[in-house]
Structure 1
Amino acid sequence: MTVSTNLQKSTALSEAEAALKLLASSMGAAVNVATASLLNTPMYRQTSVINDQMVAIANDAEHGKLDLERTIKISEAIFHLNAEAIKHKSMNPLIPDTLIAILNSAVNYAEKAQSLIRAALQPE
């Protein structure tokens, strides 16, 4: 029983780490798109700041450090950025559809990461 519990815990940690890596990858892609089309705009700066924070969270996860509070905080920032991008897209057609699609994916990854981290941090 202890072995399977440890295995479940290990699997949960691996899944949480993988989800955070996907989220960091999505934000990196968002920065690339924003750099190409929105350089030196508030949306670019916000995307870049979130990406930097997400990279730090993913790096910590790679070293076995999961932080639910930081993940929730960055997820909320991603949710807000996505909503702002959608709102601005309706007023500014130059905001790329690709950016909206990437941010939508990031929102999904953020939700998944939160639930996986909660599961990984459950006491045995």
Structure 2
Amino acid sequence: MTHFKTLSTLLITALSLTVLPTTTAPVAQAATWHRGTPKALQGKWRLGSVTTAFVHLKVTKTRFYFYSFGPLYYLKNVRYRQVKPHTYQIRGYEYSHQKMTDTLNIRRQKPQSFQFKGIYPNDSWLDFNRR
């Protein structure tokens, strides 16, 4: 009788290990930084309904230019990572003012528009449309 109990316990254990799915939590992967800028963001952009002479962006494969009322804001050697679907962080060397690495946040709304979190910590989201 003890052999039967031992054999049935081993059989149930083996079946539960092979049949039941594993319950381990998936391992979180850190977002990867990619060289350049996303193709969806490359091109010339303007701020909402404001004329292009005042506020606009130019995004190339390796650079990010922000023209506004003040002096030019310019990132070179740009890298990006996707934080959420349609949300990116862009990091590059800020060449024009502080001469240091800076990170920007961009949310893609539609194919012809996106939102850019300004260059200062308390800035609001700015809506840009393709030029």
TM-score of the pair, normalised by structure 1: 0.27
Greater relative contact order structure (CA < 8 Å, 6+ sep): 1
Q: Give 1 or 2 for the bigger CA radius of gyration.
A: 2
Higher strand proportion = 2
TM-score of the pair, normalised by structure 2: 0.26
Higher helix proportion = 1
